Amino acid sequence: MTNTKCREIDWDLTFKTKHPSKITSDITNKGDSNKRSFALKLLCEELPTLSKRYIHKPNLYSSLSCILCEKLVEENNMHIFTCKRKGQIDPIKNLTNKFKKILIEKIKKEEPDLSFFDVIKDFIPNILVTKVKKICRNKKAKANKIIIDVLEEFQKILKQIWKERCDKVIE
C-alpha cells in the first residue's frame, strides 16, 4: 500500500469496524468471532481462496482458477467480489449500487467518492468520514456510528458472496 493511500484512510475507524465489540469476557461469542475473522481475513487478503488452497493442497484442488465465471482467471480475494459470474454484467457496479443504497438509507443524502476496492476490503477512506461528519453537522460520534452501521451491513453482502462461492467449491 502506498504512503498516499495510507494517509487517505481513517485507521482508527477502520480498525474499529474490524473489532466492533469489546472483548470483556472469557466466553467466546461465535457471531462476533465470525465477523472479526471474516473482516480481518478480507483486510489482510487471507480468505482461503482457490489460489491459496491450491498452493497448500494441489492434490485436492485441480486448479486455482475461478469456478464461478468459468474463465481461466486466478481466484483471489478481489476476484471473488469482482467476478462476472457467468454473465453478470458488472459486479463492481452491482456492489457499488448496494453500498450506495445502504449509505443512502443510513444518511439519507450525498454519495461519497470512494475507491471501491478499498471499501470491499473494509478500509474507511477519510473522505467518507469527512462527508458523513459534514452531514451530521460535525458530530463525530454520530458520523462514526453511521459509517460503522453501513459497513457492517455491506460486509454482510460480501460475506454472502463469499458463502455462495464456498458452497460452489464444496459442490
User: What span, in angstroms and rounded, lies between the C-alpha atoms of 105 and 123?
Assistant: 20
Query: Hey, where are the domains in the chain?
Result: 29-170
pLDDT at 109: 44
Which residues have a Cβ under 8 Å from the Cβ of 51 and sit 6 or more positions away? 64, 74, 75, 76
Measure the N-to-C terminal CA separation of the chain; round to a whole number of Å.
Answer: 36
* Per-residue pLDDT reduced to its tens digit, 73-116: 888 888 888 888 777 677 777 787 887 777 766 654 444 445 56
Look up residue 38 and give its DSSP letter. Answer: H
Q: What pTM was computed for the model?
A: 0.60
pLDDT at 111: 41
pLDDT in the model for residue 112: 45
With b for 16 or more beta-carbon neighbours within 10 A and e for fewer, the 144-171 pattern comes to bebbbbbbebbbeebeebbeebeeeeee
Instruction: Check residue 48 and report its DSSP letter.
Output: -
What digits encode the pLDDT tens for the residues 11-59?
Answer: 888 888 787 677 776 777 788 888 888 888 988 889 998 888 888 888 9
Cell of 114: 470512494
